[in-house]
Structure 1
């Protein structure tokens, strides 16, 4: 359980330890929604002996029911091991293609299998990295809730009214957060069991709602008075939506910009609560006025269009070689092409490699395999110090991280880490597309290749112009 839920499971354990009662409540909460949680899990193929093909979610794009419905002969299959050659550790392509239609077969064959076998395990399928997050679970539960407040007709009318007003974005977001009880006033904190009572921290009496924090005292009344809005300071006990409708119905279109005052009053409240600084009515009025004046000036200033800077290929440090990797992915054909280019600290081409990937899951899958092939090529040529560059930020960030990768491509990430330990020095860094242009054409060439190519010394015809451009930029 801890391997799946990660930090969400252990955060209290790190601070004060799990008490018996607290742990029991947590377990009961998880148990009560186990049916929902099961919908969010996916089996990760390891030793392929325990995953039931038609009962567990293990292919990202297809549910177990869809696999069962599409299978030509379900009686021949039980666990995922029936689809894998045990001696080679690869998919039994003929069996998969014979039993499943092309889209399903392609999705299965594109699943990478681990080189080092581990036990089958469950991962969280709502996140690419495979680990549980509160955010993804919360959003999933919201999708299941057919009675959400935003579907209420009254709320829709309120939103339509808001959208028809030329409010500043900051004011619009503030109103939206207030409407959904997301601002940490004492009433909301009390309802979430964060504070012991809901009385206003300034007066000690009265429940501190957002509306009380905006219009509930004489100093706030004088601030509103500086804008000529004394009539809006009455009735802080009413519903916020009702008060907001009243305010907007009494303001002219140009005046709605001044509702930035709401955000400023809330910031002033927080300064007083957390830093002890009490902002005067004149100070708040001056800040709002200055902000709106500067905003109006900014809107009439001409835009300055920045000149794009080409960040071309750069040489590695002396003693290193640079391994650039890239991948191309054809979504319609579900095919990939990978390219690897090795150059020394003078920019000379040492080796280039291009190959096709017949069953590719997605761009991340292809980019990861390109990194594997680049490291294998450098290792086979005897190089010891590498700078590995790629333009896929997701791949580079994962291989440069020490965190365990629980995604479907985690076995490829493990393979990259194992290869990296074979070198004296191996540095992974991200580069923009302009710095990876030569490798990109190698990757696109791989899309059309049946067999791989490996070149040494001089670039192939399809890469000559871009290679010459990189060389010219180095010595310009």
Structure 2
């Protein structure tokens, strides 16, 4: 079998893979993967890429993940903890409560047993009931006052599995119960610890029923705040006219993961909101939706470079792509080839700049991309848009200039 170098598989004149050679040399699956690797338009030197991160840059975090895969049990345990902490931070509770739960999971609370271990106190007895040693397990599960709190809150099976260690119990109750119940549990844990501190420092005592009532009222108040926030909703941001004599180029990419196919939607408008150009293009062998956005951005950049004599603002709703375009740093991610081409092009053209916008302000470009991907019909219209996009064009044009 003939040995090939990677360079032998590339048509440098067109900067494309030699499809026929690759298909005839490799198996179907491998050939398909090779053809989906993007190539930069301009030659560049090779560089090392770390496959453990999407950015291509090495990180201790990714190395740690790779080490875990060598021990399936450790990896499974890490997954359990990761899901637990993810659930904590997603709870609709104030940050102070989430931090308290996180501290509980690491036994970071200043219980009397922990303080005795550090030789800060000599007495480790629970200050609330004077019965057992004040461990995490005692404060939140064994102390009669806490038992009374859980009973009043009527959360199903909250004190089952008492033979489990405290952290296992904590993970179990917050992953086993519903989001609303987990929210109530989280607030109760915070309230129990707060009541313990109030007893010690302020000499104020409350019964378990009173603590439970406080928890229920606190949750009601949080729900009321959320309800008022939803009524005072923020106006959705829309497309804005470019300032001065500048023009705006909006881009978006649509992706079909089944066919590894994408479509780019581009629209160019002046300060009056008039459409100067609308176009779309279909691309084959696209590896991801991330790459689809980068390809669309590259197409918008190519159009912007041809528009000499005016400042050009290139807008897209992919924050990652826009950030990469605004830096001169070499990109090592899967879209690095496209970013390299964009950086090379913009280095020779100082009248271009990139801005990120929300999807709501990128409706026309999004519409062009998604409709082209659906119909497989490319568009190229000067001073106009397709019929299906007329209404969106009118809506955008009616907005007041900045």
SS of equivalent to 1:118: coil
**Residue 260 (str. 1) matches residue 190 (str. 2):** yes
**Deviation at 1:241?**
5.7
1:365-384 pair list within 5 angstroms: 365-384=291-310
Q: Give the deviation of 1:367 after TM superposition.
A: 1.1
1:230 equivalent to 2:150? Answer: no
In the alignment, is the contact (CA less than 8 A) between 2:239 and 2:396 conserved in 1? Answer: yes
Once residues 331 and 195 of structure 2 are traced to their aligned partners in structure 1, the CA distance between those partners, rounded to angstroms, is 45
Partner SS, residue 202 of structure 2? helix
Find 2:221's aligned residue among 298, 303, 308: 298
Number of the residue aligned with 2:322:
396
Q: Take 2:388 and 2:223, find their aligned partners in 1: how far apart are those partners? A: 48
**1:434 Cα deviation after fit:** 2.1
1:456 alignment counterpart: 382
* Match among 389, 393, 398 for residue 472 of structure 1: 398
> How has the CA–CA distance of structure 1 residues 326 and 452 changed in structure 2, closer, same or farther, with 3 Å as cutoff?
same
Change beyond 3 A, Cα 1:93–1:347: same
- Per the TM alignment, residue 409 of structure 1 is displaced from its structure 2 partner at its CA by 1.2
Matches within 5 A, 1:350-429: 350-429=276-355
Q: Following superposition of structure 1 onto structure 2, how do residues 132-281 of structure 1 map, counting pairs within 5 Å?
A: 132-148=58-74, 174=100, 178-180=104-106, 183=108, 207-208=117-118, 216=121, 225=127, 229-231=128-130, 234-235=132-133, 246-247=142-143, 251-252=147-148, 253=150, 254=152, 259-260=189-190, 281=201
1:123 to 22, 32, 49: 49
Contact 1:353 1:454 in 2 (8 A): yes
Cα deviation code 1:350-385 (max 9, x no counterpart): 112211101111111111111111121122232431
Could you say which residue in structure 1 is the equivalent of 2:17? 91
Q: How far does residue 131 in structure 1 lie from its aligned partner after superposition?
A: 0.9
Segment drifting more, 443-452 vs 355-364: 443-452
Distance 1:149 1:392 in 2: 32
Give CA-to-partner distance per residue, 1:293-351, whole Å, 9 cap, x none.
Answer: 76244156382434463322110001210010111111111101011111110001111
Q: Structure 1 stretch 418-427 or stretch 293-302: which is displaced more?
A: 293-302
Higher relative contact order (CA 8 A, sep 6+): 2
* Structure-1 residue corresponding to 2:177: none
Under a length normalisation based on structure 2, what TM-score does the superposition of the two structures give?
0.70
Conserved? CA contact 1:328–1:337, under 8 Å? yes
Shift of 1:264: 5.2
Query: Which structure 2 segments of 5+ residues have no match?
Result: 154-184
Q: 8 Å contact 2:191–2:215 — kept in the other structure?
A: no
Is contact 1:354–1:445 with CA below 8 Å preserved after alignment?
no
Distance 1:76 1:175, change over 3 A: same
Q: Deviations over 1:81-126 (max 9, x none)?
A: 3422244332111122334455443322121112333333331222
**Alignment check: 8 A CA contact 1:179 1:241 kept:** no
SS of the aligned residue for 2:72 comes to coil
Deviation at residue 258 of structure 1 after TM alignment? 5.0
In the alignment, the residues of structure 2 paired with residue 151 and residue 408 of structure 1 have an alpha-carbon distance, to the nearest angstrom, of 30
SS of aligned partner of 2:398: helix
Give the CA deviation at 1:292. Answer: 4.2
Q: Aligned residue pairs: how many?
A: 346
78 and 258 in structure 1: CA distance in 2 versus 1, 3 angstrom threshold: same
1:107 aligns with 2:6: no
Q: CA deviation at 1:410?
A: 1.4
Contact between 2:140 and 2:146, CA under 8 Å: does it hold in 1? no
**Residues 1:137 and 1:244: Cα distance change in structure 2 (over 3 Å):** farther
Q: List runs of 5+ in structure 1 lacking aligned partners.
A: 1-74, 186-198, 201-205, 269-278
Asked whether the 8 Å contact 2:140–2:189 carries over to 1, the reply is: no
2:217 and 2:244 map into 1 onto residues whose CA distance is 51
Contact kept, 8 Å, 1:321 with 1:385, in 2: the verdict is yes
Cα distance in 1 for partners of 2:203, 2:271 equals: 60
Find the residue that maps to 1:148 and give its secondary structure: helix
The equivalent of 1:345 in structure 2 is 271
Distance in 2, Cα, partners of 1:248 & 1:359:
65
